[in-house]
């Protein structure tokens, strides 16, 4: 099949590379010319395991990159994969979706045959039917039955997006007519996974409900973890026993400093804003958010309990990315920790294997180090914020500290003298 993918962010780029791997002819449209150029040279601005290998295999063969919409009409179907960052009042900002629909619609004006548009960007229920479909029909000046529409949410974890694309738990296809649904489903031929066909609105909601539920599991594990800590119980031992119940499952029960990233916090806010607009009370969702906001600050309470007032103390923060294997710091739990340490007048020295440059763009007035060992030298205490595997090797490096006070916000260290947030 000939597929055009609109948006070269992590979802669009990974989807385009994986669709090429599935044997399709793919054109990726990324309107930022610099970004488009670096992708076409096989140097994406994001790091995803396995992505560069796919790019070098397919670029110039089955995968092409462009910053203009000129060849859309030559494709059979288009995926919309543009970003929907948090906008006013917590709802997604749809400006990129609107502009993609405008450009896509215009480029379909002269196409005489059927075209399928598949919405992959995360949007609130009702958006595809209320905004995407009317905008594309308007700008293409075509009738509803000449263009088909589907909503096909993504469940890609950053850092593991290629693996998640090729081996999904399920493929959700929301559609209002069987022809569009069949065509969208056939794109994934070759991938072994159950396909769930729903209405468009349900597919949109499945994405939010999934992320909200995963975030809920984490905040639940953290709330229980805090209780465990007060009772001197190891929360990981407890959740191991809990997760073995197949009705619960062991995933996303890791207590720690809370969840970050570009998805969970934003999607929770959007769902809360949606509920409020419907006069519903999102009691659980708000609590999930509240637990997550308080969780990183508990690390500082633990720290103060150990070393007293933080003013003038040298604190090493290990881990800046919102999780390991990424340089993404969006909503990273290390941000509120650093902000609070600054407010308390601590002297902060930070290290991350990949995310130092990203954090430098946000926070300039702290010291950054090239290695964990450098950050630890002379520190009064250390806080571990990200589960980077290299941190599990640390031990003697902690002896360089003025005092071996180690507070762990993620369960990753294996040495002695650790105070875990929930263990
Ligand atoms: C998340 C979802 O996992 C994907 O399925 C979804 O497609 C994606 O959002 C999205 O909406 O695009 P991602 O944000 O990349 O993916 O990250 P996760 O691996 O889910 O982790 C999110 C946060 O939760 C991280 O800060 C992680 O450290 C934290 N976490 C995760 C915990 O604190 N405990 C856990 O047990 C698991």
Digit-coded pLDDT (tens) for 87-106: 999 999 999 999 999 999 99
Query: Which residues does the chain have with pLDDT short of 70?
Result: none
State whether the beta carbon of 155 lies less than 6 angstroms from ligand 1: yes
Looking at the fold, whether 192 and 284 belong to one and the same domain comes out as no
State whether the beta carbon of 260 lies less than 6 angstroms from ligand 1: yes
Which of 15, 82, 157, 421 has most ligand 1 atoms within 8 Å of CB, for mutation?
157
Instruction: Give the domain CATH number at 8.
Output: 3.40.50.720
Beta-sheet strands, E only, within 273-417:
314-318, 347-351, 367-368, 381-384, 406-408
State whether the beta carbon of 423 lies less than 6 angstroms from ligand 1: no
Looking at the fold, whether 33 and 112 belong to one and the same domain comes out as yes
Tokens 């065509």 label which residue? 183
pLDDT for res 320: 98
334: nearest Cα among 349, 317, 351: 317
Look at ligand 1, atom 17, and give the residue with the nearest C-alpha: 157
Told to judge if 263 belongs to the known catalytic residues of this protein, a careful annotator would answer yes
Burial label, 100 (beta-carbon count in 10 A; 0-12, 13-18, 19+): buried
Judge whether 336 lies within some domain. Answer: yes
State whether the beta carbon of 8 lies less than 6 angstroms from ligand 1: no
Residue 349 gets which letter from DSSP?
A: E
pLDDT for res 145: 82
Last residue of a domain, one of 142, 163, 198: 198
Looking at the fold, whether 414 and 373 belong to one and the same domain comes out as yes
Looking at the fold, whether 222 and 316 belong to one and the same domain comes out as no
Looking at the fold, whether 52 and 184 belong to one and the same domain comes out as yes
User: How many Å apart are CA 30 and CA 64, to the nearest integer?
Assistant: 11
Query: What atom of ligand 1 comes closest to residue 252's alpha carbon?
Result: 36
State whether the beta carbon of 261 lies less than 6 angstroms from ligand 1: yes
> Would you say 83 and 96 are in contact if contact means Cβ atoms under 8 Å apart?
yes
Tokens 């948006």 label which residue? 7
pLDDT for res 164: 98
Looking at the fold, whether 250 and 263 belong to one and the same domain comes out as yes
Alpha helices (H) along 308-404: 334-343, 356-362, 372-376
Judge whether 27 lies within some domain. Answer: yes
Judge whether 241 lies within some domain. Answer: yes
Tokens 């007060």 label which residue? 230
State whether the beta carbon of 156 lies less than 6 angstroms from ligand 1: yes
Looking at the fold, whether 248 and 284 belong to one and the same domain comes out as yes
User: How many Å apart are CA 124 and CA 93, to the nearest integer?
Assistant: 11
1: nearest Cα among 107, 119, 116: 116
State whether the beta carbon of 259 lies less than 6 angstroms from ligand 1: yes
Looking at the fold, whether 146 and 79 belong to one and the same domain comes out as yes
Which of 259, 331, 387, 420 has most ligand 1 atoms within 8 Å of CB, for mutation?
259
Q: 3-state SS string over 249-265?
A: CCCCCCCCCCCCCCCHH
Looking at the fold, whether 14 and 128 belong to one and the same domain comes out as yes
Judge whether 236 lies within some domain. Answer: yes
Judge whether 325 lies within some domain. Answer: yes
Q: How many angstroms is it from 84 CA to the middle of ligand 1? A: 17
pLDDT for res 110: 87
Looking at the fold, whether 111 and 191 belong to one and the same domain comes out as yes
Last residue of a domain, one of 152, 176, 198: 198
Looking at the fold, whether 287 and 307 belong to one and the same domain comes out as no
Q: How many angstroms is it from 163 CA to the middle of ligand 1? A: 15
pLDDT for res 47: 83
pLDDT for res 35: 96
Judge whether 126 lies within some domain. Answer: yes
Instruction: Give the domain CATH number at 230.
Output: 1.10.1040.10
Task: Identify the three-state secondary structure at position 67.
Answer: coil
Write out the DSSP string of 98-148. HHHHHHHHHHTTT--S-EEEEE-S---TTHIIIIIHHHHHHHHT--GGGEE
Give bridge partners of residue 382 from the DSSP assignment.
Answer: 316, 406
Query: What atom of ligand 1 comes closest to residue 153's alpha carbon?
Result: 7
Judge whether 203 lies within some domain. Answer: no
Work out how many domains the chain is built from and give that number.
3
Look up residue 60 and give its two tokens.
């110039």
Looking at the fold, whether 176 and 261 belong to one and the same domain comes out as no
Judge whether 115 lies within some domain. Answer: yes
State whether the beta carbon of 157 lies less than 6 angstroms from ligand 1: yes
| Predicted confidence (pLDDT) per residue in 365-383, tens digit | 999 999 999 999 999 999 9
Last residue of a domain, one of 292, 313, 333: 292
> Would you say 54 and 61 are in contact if contact means Cβ atoms under 8 Å apart?
no
The domain in which residue 394 lies consists of 297-420
Look at ligand 1, atom 24, and give the residue with the nearest C-alpha: 259
User: How many Å apart are CA 369 and CA 237, to the nearest integer?
Assistant: 34
pLDDT for res 46: 85
Look at ligand 1, atom 31, and give the residue with the nearest C-alpha: 252
Catalytic entry in 18, 263, 382, 422: 263
């Amino acid at each position: 099949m000939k597929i055009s993918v609109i948006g070269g962010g992590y979802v669009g780029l990974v989807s385009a590379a994986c669709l090429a791997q599935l044997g399709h002819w793919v054109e990726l449209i990324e309107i930022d010319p610099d970004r488009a150029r670096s992708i076409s040279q096989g140097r994406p601005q994001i790091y995803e395991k396995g992505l560069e290998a796919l790019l070098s295999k397919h670029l110039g063969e089955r995968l092409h990159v462009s910053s203009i919409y000129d060849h859309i009409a030559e494709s059979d179907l288009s995926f919309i994969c543009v970003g929907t960052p948090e906008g006013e009042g917590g709802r997604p900002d749809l400006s990129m979706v609107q502009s993609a629909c405008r450009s896509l619609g215009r480029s379909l004006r002269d196409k005489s045959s059927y075209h399928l548009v598949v919405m992959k960007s995360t949007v609130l229920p009702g958006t595809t039917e209320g905004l995407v479909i009317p905008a594309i029909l308007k700008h293409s000046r075509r009738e509803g039955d000449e263009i088909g529409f589907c909503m096909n949410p993504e469940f890609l974890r950053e850092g593991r997006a290629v693996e998640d694309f090729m081996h999904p738990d399920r493929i959700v296809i929301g559609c209002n007519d069987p022809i569009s649904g069949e065509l969208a489903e056939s794109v994934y031929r070759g991938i072994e996974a159950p396909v769930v066909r729903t209405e468009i609105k349900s597919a949109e909601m499945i994405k939010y409900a999934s992320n909200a539920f995963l975030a809920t599991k984490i905040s639940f594990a953290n709330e229980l973890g805090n209780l465990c800590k007060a009772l001197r119980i190891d929360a990981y031992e407890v959740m191991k026993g809990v997760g073995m119940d197949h009705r619960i499952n062991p995933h996303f029960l890791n207590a720690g400093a809370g969840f970050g990233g570009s998805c969970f916090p934003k999607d929770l806010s959007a769902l809360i804003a949606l509920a409020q607009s419907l006069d519903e009370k999102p009691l659980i969702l708000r609590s999930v958010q509240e637990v997550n906001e308080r969780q990183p600050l508990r690390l500082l309470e633990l720290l103060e309990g150990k070393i007293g007032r933080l003013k003038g103390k040298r604190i090493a923060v290990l881990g800046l990315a919102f999780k390991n294997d990424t340089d993404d710091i969006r909503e990273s739990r290390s941000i509120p920790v650093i902000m609070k340490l600054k407010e308390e007048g601590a002297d902060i020295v930070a290290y991350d294997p990949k995310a130092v440059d990203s954090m430098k763009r946000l926070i300039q007035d702290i010291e950054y180090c090239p290695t964990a060992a450098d950050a630890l030298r002379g520190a009064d205490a250390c806080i571990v914020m990200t589960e980077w595997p290299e941190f599990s090797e640390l031990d003697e490096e902690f002896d360089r500290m003025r005092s071996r006070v180690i507070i762990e916000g993620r369960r990753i260290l294996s040495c002695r003298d650790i105070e875990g947030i929930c263990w």
